[in-house]
């Protein structure tokens, strides 16, 4: 790790001020991605701005939405009775991220801002048509993810919360774990809610999370694994690495989607 | 008091400190004035070093020194030695290119050390190491053994033609050819033994010190401190042994990777002498991936000649073995004397011929890793036997039984040099099949099929060789060291005992097992015996721990030292009780005059020995302390049967190991609980090799699996409940009858797992699947082959 200045502001406004005033400054949430990056000396920030003092954690539920603060940990989401009731697939997804230690540090805001192509949350956020709230604006999931490790966030923008519209009639996540890292090699979130029937895939695509319209159309007609069993996803544009070829990932998308539909 | 002698599952006394976080590892050691070394390593597989500009690094804050290979050469330091010389088929010695401590001229693998920066803090050393400006000229590299041995391949060492380190063979080729000519069946198999990265939990570390009078101390993560003293002192740094002390304190796992003498050990010791300050280096995990010796990496072709009834007539094997970029300490011995000599396995195959070519590549050096050579032999043989069964239509259990060396044929001379002393393969097979409910498998398979799962069962009946010996034979085969072990037993004046052993514990529980052994034999309470290991300043000598040798060889040395203690004690007792020495018996911790009730406890004898007022001083020296060097007459030969049951999800190709039974013949058992733990750990590694682990390089030599994000270690949820049983025959040539248990798990299990996977896929026309049997490989087989039954 290179040396950096450590800042722990007490309000979003102060954090934004620090961030805007220093192009080399970086935000720190749970540190589960960022600290390893620092340790490997892959990033050399001038300052690290810790978001832990901004009171951005917590879950609130209204008739129309579940709102999860950006600093809410995966463990909190996983065991939240309200989330389990309103959007069971979301709690399920959070419970499968990393290991216990990771789940108790890593946050939803950090995961979305990072937009790792094999992260789990982007699949839920896209499938459920969630809205990402920042200090400046509200960004629709459809506009937020812009390719791997790339989002619509501006340099001085901080995610404050994520709002999931209700009611969600069906939701489930199935994850084929990359054997070493256990991130999603193929993760599929299926949902039926205010945003319609959606199937979002993470882990497989070279550009991060994406939807599968053929499956959505089939499921809209009939919500059953059989309805999508015949839908073949093209390997084009999918990742290929030592853990799995694009063709294998394409195959797994259908398998995971079927299993998610069955579980929802 | 509970029984704590031989055969008792005494809880490991070392676990108290480990579980409480109180272990004392090299990185826990800090010395006044200590400075830190950071190593700049090659990030490219193969390149010429045109120049190194260290001026910016040297001027960076806190930097004390920057050294390159040229500085070491200026001090007369050559390369790291290799401890085993193999001879080619034509009798000429193997190619043994220089293994510089710091790269000179060229870098040959990703991770090859180029320069060291020493600074006041670790961060300063790392910062400065990045400031070194190295001008490289990239060269084409080669990582795969087949590619490296092809004509026109890039040369790892300019002077080594064809990248061939050696081209060696063993066995009677003529007899094998003749047997093949008359065989009814010839069964052929090509197979790969995957490359593994050991990943001990504790990364390597080294702390060098030099005092004002020029005495050096190196504290290092080593499995064999005396060997390091010998290699580094005599061959690298030219420090005489009396001025060099090596300490290997608590060491967090080795699996072979901490046997070898590594560059960093020489660097910190040499630098400590130059700077007269303690110099510490601790590997980061990413350095471990690219600098700890890797394991296995074979490509083999095997052929079995079989007669009408299924008897093996002859075995022919040809293997390419990856040495990596340089010869690690014992690398040449692994694919030769620890591999090809084991190709008889448990079978009475009358003729065997094996040829092995060792090849240099632009990869991390490869050396012994848990099992070392024997897992490669067991995998090849036990897979081949299953394929023979498949192709001849003979049941795989029956085929094995038909070819077993019968229990009454021991001692048994194999056609590949070894003479097995004892074993009973029928016994371990029968017990394992029973424990695994082999007979009930068809019903479980049918039940799994109803759930849409493919269930398979696999067996492996393996044999291995531990405690490589005797020294003169190993020497004749190319070893440049002896292979005995040393024990010093000190009975203190009041009768408590300290055992100094040349073996080293880095997870094996020696402090418990050895104390049990000595307490049992001397008849003193377990808590009156302490075991000291890992310090050349305290222990007379030793060869260390590897090859499952510690009990069979090191424990036998203790028995020999205790024999001397008892013999001397008898003379003292005879004097004290006014009897003749011949009439003294030693039993249950007391010396007795036979046929009388006169007795003296060991503590009384030891007190007399140290306070020799009433003592046969004319004939005997005072004191009660003895040392024994024990050079075994032969290897020991553990063996057994492993049974693995798997379930495959045909939609994803994911294999789940649902049951695993290991029944091993490890000879006499001192602590059954520790043996069970050793076997379970070995099986976990074997399942890891079979299903999960695989070092990946690109064609050029760039390491693709350089972290836990990409290198799949086995985890708890990858493993089934592992049932361990022992069915023993005693080793006939060592005083304990023990054989060794540290590696059996890793040797017997990979073929059992793959045999189970192939069995699960038998309707898909598959003969063989290489390790690791990843979900994608299995899915590809399923996707490409409609089940035979469905097609029929
Ligand atoms: C061993 C391990 C296993 C893992 N497995 C999985 C897995 O299976 N699935 C999965 O999805 N993830 C996995 N993760 C990643 C984990 O979910 C992380 O928590 C997540 O990627 C980042 O969240 P964080 O809170 O730790 O963010 P940090 O690491 O602190 O930050 C990540 C990035 O986001 C930025 N950032 C953080 N918060 C905000 C914010 N509020 N606004 C704007 N920018 C922000 C930071 O500046 C940084 O660039 C794993 C991590 C580890 C270490």
Structural domain spans, chain A: 1-53, 170-263
- Give the residue on A whose Cα is nearest the Cα of B772: A243
Å from B59 to nearest chain A CA?
A: 18
B707 is a domain residue: yes
- Give the residue on B whose Cα is nearest the Cα of A254: B651
Task: Provide the 10 A C-beta neighbour count for residue B569.
Answer: 25
Choose the mutation target among B652, B689, B690, B716 for the interface with A, i.e. most A CBs under 10 Å: B652
* Cβ A110 under 6 angstroms from ligand 1: yes
Query: Distance (Å, rounded) from C-alpha B368 to C-alpha B545?
Result: 12
Residue with tokens 């076997």: B679
Show contacts of B610-618: CB within 8 Å, 24+ apart: B610/B492, B610/B493, B611/B493, B614/B575, B614/B576, B615/B572, B615/B575, B616/B571, B616/B572, B616/B575
Residue B712 to residue A180, Cβ atoms within 8 A? yes
* Cβ A158 under 6 angstroms from ligand 1: yes
Taking the Cβ of residue A177 and every Cβ of chain B, the question of whether any pair is shorter than 8 Å is answered with no
Two tokens, residue B287: 């350095």
- Give the residue on B whose Cα is nearest the Cα of A248: B776
Going from the Cα of A117 to the center of ligand 1, the distance in angstroms, rounded, reads 12
Domains: count for chain B: 1
- pLDDT given at position B3: 85
Going from the Cα of B127 to the center of ligand 1, the distance in angstroms, rounded, reads 26
Cα Rg for chain A, rounded, in angstroms?
Answer: 18
- Give the residue on A whose Cα is nearest the Cα of B696: A242
Query: Distance (Å, rounded) from C-alpha B746 to C-alpha B740?
Result: 13
* Cβ A211 under 6 angstroms from ligand 1: no
- pLDDT given at position B791: 42
> Mapped to the 3 state alphabet, what secondary structure does A10-41 carry?
CCHHHHHHHHHCCCCCEEECCCCCHHHHHHCC
Residue A180 to residue B704, Cβ atoms within 8 A? no
Residue A243 to residue B776, Cβ atoms within 8 A? yes
* pLDDT tens sequence across B167-217: 999 999 999 999 999 999 999 999 999 999 999 999 999 999 999 999 999
Listed residue (A217, A178, A155, A172) closest to A16, CA to CA = A155
Q: What is the DSSP letter of B157?
A: S
Q: Give the H or E element holding residue B433.
A: helix B425-435
Å from A255 to nearest chain B CA?
A: 7
Angle between helices B775-784 and A246-263 (to 10 degrees): 90
Q: What is the DSSP letter of B742?
A: S
> Mapped to the 3 state alphabet, what secondary structure does B352-404 carry?
EEEEEEEEECCCCCEECCCCCCHHHHHHHHHHHHHHHHHHHCCCHHHHHHHHE
Å from A74 to nearest chain B CA?
A: 20
Identify the CATH number of the domain defined by range A1-53: 3.30.43.10
The partner residue sitting opposite B652, judged by closest CB among A3, A40, A255, is A255
pTM summary value? 0.97
* pLDDT tens sequence across B629-658: 999 999 999 999 999 999 999 999 999 999
Listed residue (B372, B487, B568, B462) closest to B735, CA to CA = B487
Å from A202 to nearest chain B CA?
A: 17
* pLDDT tens sequence across A111-131: 999 999 999 999 999 999 999
Cα Rg for chain B, rounded, in angstroms?
Answer: 27
The sign one gets for the Cα dihedral A256, A257, A258, A264 is positive
Decide if the complex's ipTM is over 0.85.
yes
B712 contacts in A (CB within 8 Å)? 179-180
Structural domain harbouring B697: 418-466+636-792
Listed residue (B31, B166, B157) closest to B106, CA to CA = B157
- Angle, alpha carbons B131-B135-B136 (nearest 5°): 125
Residues of A numbered 14-73 whose beta carbons fall under 8 angstroms of chain B's beta carbons: which are they?
Answer: 40-41
Q: What is the DSSP letter of B771?
A: S
B437 is a domain residue: yes
The sign one gets for the Cα dihedral A153, A156, A162, A165 is negative
- pLDDT given at position B792: 40
Residue A242 to residue B710, Cβ atoms within 8 A? yes
Residue A181 to residue B708, Cβ atoms within 8 A? yes
Residues of chain B with confidence (pLDDT) below 50: 790-792
A179 contacts in B (CB within 8 Å)? 692, 712, 774-775
Residue B711 to residue A255, Cβ atoms within 8 A? no
The partner residue sitting opposite B709, judged by closest CB among A1, A180, A252, is A180
The correct answer on CATH 3.40.50.300 for the domain covering A170-263 is no
Cβ-in-10-Å burial (0-12, 13-18, 19+) of B610 comes to: middle
Average confidence (pLDDT) over A186-190? 98
Provide the mean pLDDT of chain A: 97
Which CATH number goes with the domain that contains B652?
3.30.365.10
* pLDDT tens sequence across A160-183: 999 999 999 999 999 999 999 999
Taking the Cβ of residue A99 and every Cβ of chain B, the question of whether any pair is shorter than 8 Å is answered with no
B276 is a domain residue: no
B34 is a domain residue: no
Q: Give the H or E element holding residue B41.
A: strand B35-41
> What number of C-beta contacts closer than 8 Å exist between A and B?
40
Average confidence (pLDDT) over A133-153? 97
- pLDDT given at position B1: 59
B166 is a domain residue: no
B647 is a domain residue: yes
Going from the Cα of A15 to the center of ligand 1, the distance in angstroms, rounded, reads 18
């Amino acid at each position: 790790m290179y040396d950096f200045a450590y800042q722990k502001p007490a309000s979003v406004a102060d954090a934004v001020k620090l961030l805007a005033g220093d192009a080399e400054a970086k935000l720190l949430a749970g540190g589960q991605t960022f600290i390893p990056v620092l340790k490997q000396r892959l990033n050399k920030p001038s300052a690290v701005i810790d978001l832990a003092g901004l009171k951005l954690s917590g879950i609130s539920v209204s008739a129309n939405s579940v709102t999860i603060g950006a600093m809410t940990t995966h463990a909190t989401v996983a065991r939240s009775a309200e989330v389990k009731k309103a959007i069971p697939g979301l709690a399920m997804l959070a419970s499968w991220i990393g290991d216990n230690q990771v789940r108790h540090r890593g946050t939803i805001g950090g995961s979305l801002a990072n937009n790792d192509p094999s992260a789990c949350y982007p699949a839920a956020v896209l499938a459920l048509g969630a809205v990402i709230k920042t200090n400046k604006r509200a960004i629709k999931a459809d506009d937020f993810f812009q390719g791997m490790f790339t989002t619509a966030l501006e340099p001085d923008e901080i995610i404050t919360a994520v709002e999931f519209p209700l009611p969600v009639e069906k939701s489930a996540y199935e994850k084929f774990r990359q054997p070493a890292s256990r991130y999603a090699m193929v993760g599929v979130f299926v949902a039926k809610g205010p945003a319609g029937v959606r199937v979002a895939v993470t882990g497989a695509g070279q550009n991060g999370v994406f939807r599968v319209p053929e499956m959505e159309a089939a499921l809209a007609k009939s919500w059953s694994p059989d309805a999508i069993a015949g839908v073949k996803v093209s390997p084009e544009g999918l990742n290929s690495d030592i853990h799995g070829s694009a063709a294998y990932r394409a195959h797994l998308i259908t398998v995971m989607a079927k299993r998610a539909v069955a579980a929802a | 008091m509970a029984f704590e002698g031989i055969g008792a599952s005494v809880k490991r006394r070392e676990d108290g400190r480990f579980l409480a976080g109180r272990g004392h590892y090299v990185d826990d050691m800090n010395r006044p004035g200590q400075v830190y070394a950071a190593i700049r390593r090659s990030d490219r597989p193969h390149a010429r070093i045109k120049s190194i500009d260290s001026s910016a690094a040297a001027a960076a804050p806190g930097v004390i020194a920057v050294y390159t290979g040229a500085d070491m050469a200026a001090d007369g330091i050559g390369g790291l030695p290799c401890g085993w010389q193999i001879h080619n088929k034509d009798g000429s010695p193997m190619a043994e290119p220089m293994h510089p401590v710091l790269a000179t001229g060229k870098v040959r693998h990703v991770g090859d050390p180029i320069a060291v920066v020493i600074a006041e803090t670790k961060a300063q050393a790392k910062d400065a190491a990045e400031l070194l400006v190295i001008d490289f000229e990239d060269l084409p590299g080669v990582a795969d053994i087949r590619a490296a041995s092809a004509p026109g391949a890039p040369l790892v060492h300019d002077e080594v033609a064809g990248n061939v380190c050696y081209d060696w063979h063993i066995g009677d080729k003529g007899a094998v050819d003749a047997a093949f000519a008359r065989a009814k069946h010839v069964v052929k198999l090509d197979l790969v033994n995957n490359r593994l990265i050991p990943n001990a939990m504790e990364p390597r570390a080294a702390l060098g010190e030099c005092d004002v009078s020029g005495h050096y101390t190196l504290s290092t993560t080593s499995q064999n401190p005396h060997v390091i003293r010998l290699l580094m002192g005599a061959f690298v740094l030219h420090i005489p042994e009396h001025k060099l002390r090596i300490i290997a304190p608590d060491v967090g796992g080795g699996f072979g990777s901490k046997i070898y003498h590594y560059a960093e050990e020489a660097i910190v010791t040499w630098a400590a002498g130059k700077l007269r300050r303690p110099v510490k280096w601790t590997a980061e995990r990413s350095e471990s991936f690219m600098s700890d010796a890797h394991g296995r990496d074979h490509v083999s072709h095997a052929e079995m000649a079989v007669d009408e009834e299924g008897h093996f007539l002859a075995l022919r094997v040809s293997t390419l073995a990856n040495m990596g970029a340089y010869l690690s300490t014992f690398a040449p011995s692994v694919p030769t004397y620890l591999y090809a000599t084991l190709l008889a396995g448990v079978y009475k195959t009358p003729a065997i011929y094996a040829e092995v070519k060792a090849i240099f590549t632009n990869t991390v050096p490869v050396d012994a890793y848990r099992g070392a050579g024997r897992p490669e032999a067991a995998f090849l043989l036990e897979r081949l036997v299953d394929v023979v069964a498949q192709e001849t239509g003979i049941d795989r259990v029956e085929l094995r039984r038909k070819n077993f060396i019968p229990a009454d044929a021991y001692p048994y001379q194999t056609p590949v040099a070894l003479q097995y002393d004892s074993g009973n393969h029928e016994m371990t097979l029968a017990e394992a099949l029973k424990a695994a409910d082999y007979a009930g498998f068809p019903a479980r398979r049918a039940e799994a099929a109803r759930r849409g799962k493919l269930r398979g069962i696999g067996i492996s009946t393996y044999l291995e060789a531990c405690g490589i010996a005797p020294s003169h034979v190993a020497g004749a085969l190319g070893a440049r060291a002896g292979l005995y072990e040393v024990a010093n037993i000190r009975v203190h004046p009041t009768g408590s005992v300290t055992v100094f052993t040349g073996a080293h514990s880095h997870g094996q529980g020696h402090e418990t097992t050895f104390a049990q052994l000595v307490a049992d034999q001397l008849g003193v309470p377990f808590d009156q015996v302490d075991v000291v290991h890992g310090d050349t300043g305290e222990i007379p000598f030793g060869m260390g721990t590897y090859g499952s040798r510690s009990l069979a060889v090191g424990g036998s040395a203790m028995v020999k030292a205790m024999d001397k203690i008892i013999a001397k004690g008898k003379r003292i007792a005879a004097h004290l009780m006014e009897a003749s020495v011949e009439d003294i018996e030693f039993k249950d911790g007391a010396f007795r005059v036979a046929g009388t009730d006169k007795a003296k406890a060991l503590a009384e004898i030891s007190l007399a020995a140290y306070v020799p007022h009433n003592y046969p001083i004319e004939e005997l020296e005072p004191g009660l302390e003895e040392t024994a060097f024990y050079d075994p007459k032969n290897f020991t030969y553990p063996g057994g049967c492993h049974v693995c049951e798997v379930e495959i999800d045909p939609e994803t190709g994911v294999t789940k190991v649902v049951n695993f039974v290991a029944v091993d013949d490890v000879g006499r058992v001192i602590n059954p609980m520790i043996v069970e733990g050793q076997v379970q750990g070995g099986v976990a590694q074997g399942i890891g090799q079979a299903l999960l682990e695989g070092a990946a390089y690109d064609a050029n030599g760039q390491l693709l699996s350089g972290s836990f994000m990409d290198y799949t270690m086995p985890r708890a949820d990858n493993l089934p409940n592992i049932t361990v049983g022992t069915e023993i025959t005693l080793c006939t040539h060592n005083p304990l009858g023990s054989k060794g248990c540290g590696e059996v798990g890793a040797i017997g299990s990979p073929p059992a797992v793959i045999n189970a996977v192939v069995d699960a896929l038998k309707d898909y026309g598959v003969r063989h699947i290489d390790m690791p049997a990843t979900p994608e490989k299995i899915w590809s087989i399923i996707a490409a082959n409609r089940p035979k039954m469905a097609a029929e």
